[in-house]
Amino acid sequence: MILKLKEPLNLDFTLNSGQVFNWKKNNDFWEGFVNGKKTKLKKKGANLFFKGASKSEILSFFKLDESLDEIYQSILSKSGDLLLESLFKKYRGLRILRQEPWECLISFIISQNSSIKTIRKRIETLYSLNDGFPSAETLSKLSESDFRKMGFGYRSKYVKETSEIVASGFDLRKIKGRKFDSALEELKSLPGVGDKVGKCVMLFSLDFNEAFPVDVHIENVMKKFYHRERNIQEFAVKRFGAYAGYAQQYLFFSDVF
């Protein structure tokens, strides 16, 4: 199937930017999961060739309903930021994804204090448990030591407990409609979810485009270029506006990759 792209999309930047850990490039095909469906992608000019997920699922996954250039403009006109202006040019087509919230949550819980390579391996292990990413019900039936055997370390307890809570009715999707602070608070009530993981889940799966997750890389960037060490979320929204999360993604990408 073919999709005509009206929006800038760079698959290499987007699928390699630390938002998702279950995509692989084989030759010139990207392979991963969209909405639980194994999907192959290849881009040629403005044509996106795809197999697996449906067209509307792909449009949603890459948030192709949002105009990237308008987002750039919105951030630049508000901030006049020269660093971001150059990053938007350099990494044009780097998009923020709209992932499945449950998978996103577990992915970032097991990402803490780990290298990208380790994170990828852990997620691959989860996928190998059954066909596709295991549900909260499935994971809640495993024990903490099962997760330790998978190499999750101290995060095992978080995964076990969070799975139990979600399996017994905690609805991630209902958080979507909440106010920012309330949504973050709700997520942080889950074991293993702090400020950083919570904001990653909000930005990458729940459409909170103003979420500005702060990890060590962003901390360094903010210190170096903006002379900020505290209250970074507030600063980011004031400076970059409602799409601060996009600014975060470009700053992160330029620092790490």
Rule CB under 7 A: which residues touch DNA? 17-19, 111-118, 121, 148, 151, 153-155, 158, 188, 190-198, 200, 213, 215-217, 252, 256
- Give min distance, CB of 204 to DNA, in A: 8
- Give min distance, CB of 51 to DNA, in A: 26
> E strand or H helix at 246, and its extent?
helix 244-256
- Give min distance, CB of 126 to DNA, in A: 14
User: Based on CB atoms, which residue is closest to DNA, 51 or 223?
Assistant: 223
User: Based on CB atoms, which residue is closest to DNA, 3 or 103?
Assistant: 103
Which has the closest alpha carbon to 219: 257, 181, 251, 183? 251
Residue 9 CB partners (closer than 8 Å, separation 6+): 43, 48, 62, 64, 93, 95
- Give min distance, CB of 178 to DNA, in A: 18
**What distance in Å separates the CA atoms of residue 239 and residue 204, rounded to the nearest whole number?**
21
User: Based on CB atoms, which residue is closest to DNA, 3 or 200?
Assistant: 200
- Give min distance, CB of 97 to DNA, in A: 11
Q: HSE (CB half, 13 Å, CA atoms) of 62?
A: 27
- Give min distance, CB of 115 to DNA, in A: 4
CA-to-CA separations, 158 to 25, 59, 211, 228, in angstroms, rounded: 30, 32, 23, 31
**What distance in Å separates the CA atoms of residue 64 and residue 60, rounded to the nearest whole number?**
6
Token duo for residue 100 = 């499945």
Token duo for residue 53 = 């997920």
Percent helix, strand and coil across the chain, each rounded to 5? 55, 10, 35
User: Based on CB atoms, which residue is closest to DNA, 165 or 167?
Assistant: 165
Q: How many residues does the chain have?
A: 257
